[in-house]
Amino acid sequence: MGILLGGVLATGQAADIYVSPDGADSYSGQSGEPLASLAAAQQKARSYAGKEAVTVHLADGTYYLSETLVFTPDDSGSSRYPVVYKAQNRGKAVLSGGLRLELQWRPYRDGIFQAETPAGLEIDQLFVDGSNQRMARYPNYDANKKTDAYQGYAADAFSRERAANWSEPAGGYIHAMHRSRWGGYHYQITGKDAEGEVRYEGGWQNNRQMGMHASQRMVENIFEELDAPGEWFHDADAGTLYYMPEASTDLSKAVVEVVRLRHLVEIYGDLKQPVASMTILDPGNEIAGLTLETPETAKPVRWIQFKGIRFAGARRTFMDTREPLLQSDWAIYRGGAVHLRGTEHILIEDCDFVELGGNAVFVDAYNRNAVIRGNLFKDNGASDVNFVGSFAAVRSPRFGYLTMPHPLESVDREIGPKTEEYPADCLVEDNLMTRCGRVEKQSSGVNISMSSRITVRHNTIFDTPRAAINICDGTWGGHLIEWNDCFETVLETHDHGAFNSWGRDRYWHRAGPSGPKDKDDDGKPLISYWIEEAPYAPFWDAYQTTTLRHNRMQCDHGWDIDLDDGSTNYEIYNNLCLSGGLKTREGYKRIVRNNIVLREGYTCNVPYPKPTQDVFESNIMWGGGYSASKPRLWGGARNRNFMHNPSSEGAEPWVAGQAKTGDDADSLYGNAGFMDPSAGDFTVADDSPTLLVGFKNFPMEGFGVVSERLKALAEEPPLLLPIYVEPNTVTKVKHAKVLGAQFKALDTEAELTATGMDSLRGVLLLAVPKFSPMANYGFESDDVVLEVDGANVDSKSFIKVMNGLNPGHHRASVWRGQQLHRFEFETGK
């Protein structure tokens, strides 16, 4: 029989505390006298935390938080006696950072209603009957435009002509895609100048500063753009909310909620000093206020569990997304609806994270053995789960893509992290993640940076604007990515992967002749010098192998698996790539074996010189073969692969692959003998010729979530079998020449990503020999020539333009080293 201890029912070695929206904090907390708030339950739980198991039972209903619920080491449980916050009915207990408003609506005009709001109220998001409404915007939202940026964009979004209709736009927002569609930017409108041009500030949300896209732009929070059902505008100064309801909405009965808090739950261990902070001063990525002293965790929070809770009502944070994650393309807001910093053994299980304004879960700096399992993530503004370590743990860090490398003699050559302030040994398992990045387009289902040994297993991640799973850097590897189902990815952006990684770590230098920053005093590529002097340099940070296995990946505007700049120390096997193919860029030790790659084949672009320890073998490809701007540039072993053609009989040497690469002496071309490809079964028969190249069957099912609840909600990836199959013939490609240089049109996706261009245009210089006229004028190999004397050039006009230059002074614009470069040159008589 239970006894009452301090107003809490305790039985044996367990304490039970009950909470209900209908309770009162003056009650005992027994099942018949529930408390009203989690804060009150937290105070009672502290009396027993770590000494006996504590379960806080949350009854159905919404718990509105007036301030963030903060857990400290005083709330810690133990391995034997964890502290559990549990919904009595999964998903029915809602922890909200919002506020319910009681409003008196009256007609305004044109189907718009208005209501007075409390003084001082700020509204970031508005929910009516549980449905998220939209700030007044232009162009209007169109759910059918699934792959359009922001589901609707317009080049004139904030043009002077458009803004002429706006009486006072200050407080509005501009959302614009990156020039090359590598994520996006956000700006706050500050007003209009004397000429009527819109003034704004922001644009620090992307670590590859190249300016906003010319047409993919959208504005919101502009009163004059309130013209569609479901849109609203709040005049905070006048205390008036304007809203155009859907025809089916009864405003007299509607439940109206607004969002107040950024973070709902913070689990913070004690620190010896503040966490590192960073501010970007300007688009040039100059850094100020960076503190790299170690924010050592003196005492972590341990063994707290959250089960079955629905987290709702967290603010958008896009204007505070400004910390560059080393040299990756990402900037981050270091926080989320649930924010872990300085923890051990925290469990988040069977919860719902739906329509949160920013990041859902953020695992920050020192964290060990966090488990995020069995949850639903849907329609969140930024990323669903982030693991981000402290900059103080990184040796010789660099920030921003264009940052010059440290001199080799000054680089810290110790292997691995400098401190313990990073997430490690954490698990993300059996989660359904869909439609992340509703606001911030540089986002993903799972993002990992400055972390170690993160396992991402059996998750279904789909309908994402960018990657499903992203790894920002090689610090410090050891991750296991397995049994995930990732599809409908990179929908609103470009040049990315369902799985994407970078490795712009201590050793990394931009490959190719990208200008003086990448060459030593003798003109030799710096990467070659580094590897000669410090052969282990690529593994100083990526010292543990990251493994991708048994995943099903599909990407719409890029690669299924994209190992981008510098990605190092990967083993990739037994993956099914459905459409975008597989890519490795410059890096070391990428072992790619026994994968099935449909449609787009394998891209190896701008690789480093030998030896890279790369291996690409025993893979089956169906569709494209090898794709790269210079496919012979290779620093590893590529052989014993199989190109499938369903029209073939038997198998023969793959002469086309060998001719393209100089490798593949033992690769084969023919019919793989798939069992049932139209049903997604790419198992090969027992007598398949693929076995001759060492291919081994792997399971064609079991991808994605495993819990019955989430399996019922999950969707399946689209399956479009290849129509085109690369023929097994050798075609000699002839490139045009002018003034001693070889060139061609920039017209392939491989060339687009290799050069970092924003679109397929201009002329790609394949080879500019030393002392040739083109070299004397200042052109270099791998330049993309855009303009000569202010006129656009293409492959048809380039010879005529260059041969027709009059003696005298001329100007050229080229894309070099992933940035615009202008120079002048003289021609003689």
Instruction: Calculate mean pLDDT across residues 298-304.
Output: 95
Please tell me the least confidently modeled range out of 158-167, 247-256, 609-618: 609-618
What pLDDT shows up at residue 524?
64
Going by pLDDT thresholds of 50, 70 and 90, the confidence category of residue 293 is: low
What pLDDT shows up at residue 788?
96
Instruction: Calculate mean pLDDT across residues 153-163.
Output: 98
What pLDDT shows up at residue 275?
55
What pLDDT shows up at residue 282?
38
Is a pLDDT exceeding 60 seen at residue 285?
no
Going by pLDDT thresholds of 50, 70 and 90, the confidence category of residue 85 is: very high
Is a pLDDT exceeding 90 seen at residue 4?
no
What pLDDT shows up at residue 527?
82
Is a pLDDT exceeding 90 seen at residue 635?
no
What pLDDT shows up at residue 520?
59
For 100-118, write each residue's pLDDT tens digit.
Answer: 999 999 999 999 999 999 9
Is a pLDDT exceeding 50 seen at residue 675?
yes
What pLDDT shows up at residue 287?
47
Per-residue CA distances from 725 to 310, 622, 722, 728, 729 (Å): 48, 7, 7, 9, 12
CA 449, CA 292: separation in Å to the nearest integer?
A: 16
Is a pLDDT exceeding 70 seen at residue 478?
yes
Q: What is the mean pLDDT of the chain?
A: 92
The b-or-e profile of 563-593 (16+ CB within 10 A means b, else e) is bbbbbbbbebbbbbbbbbbbbbbbbbbbbbb
CA 359, CA 440: separation in Å to the nearest integer?
A: 10
- pTM for the whole structure: 0.93
Q: Which residue has the higher pLDDT, 121 or 629?
A: 121
Is a pLDDT exceeding 60 seen at residue 136?
yes
What pLDDT shows up at residue 632?
55
Report the run of H or E that residue 774 belongs to, with start and end: helix 773-777
Classify the C-alpha dihedral 461-466-467-471 as positive or negative: negative
Is a pLDDT exceeding 90 seen at residue 687?
yes
Is a pLDDT exceeding 50 seen at residue 289?
no
Phi and psi for 37 in degrees, rounded to 5? -130, 155
For 739-767, write each residue's pLDDT tens digit.
Answer: 999 999 988 877 888 888 888 899 999 88
Instruction: Calculate mean pLDDT across residues 4-24.
Output: 74
What pLDDT shows up at residue 286?
43
Is a pLDDT exceeding 80 seen at residue 459?
yes
What pLDDT shows up at residue 489?
98
* Bridge partner list, 367: 343, 423
For 606-627, write each residue's pLDDT tens digit.
Answer: 778 778 999 999 999 999 988 7
Instruction: Calculate mean pLDDT across residues 793-822.
Output: 92
Phi and psi for 383 in degrees, rounded to 5? -90, 155
CA 551, CA 537: separation in Å to the nearest integer?
A: 30
Share of the chain above pLDDT 90, in %: 81
Instruction: Calculate mean pLDDT across residues 416-441.
Output: 97
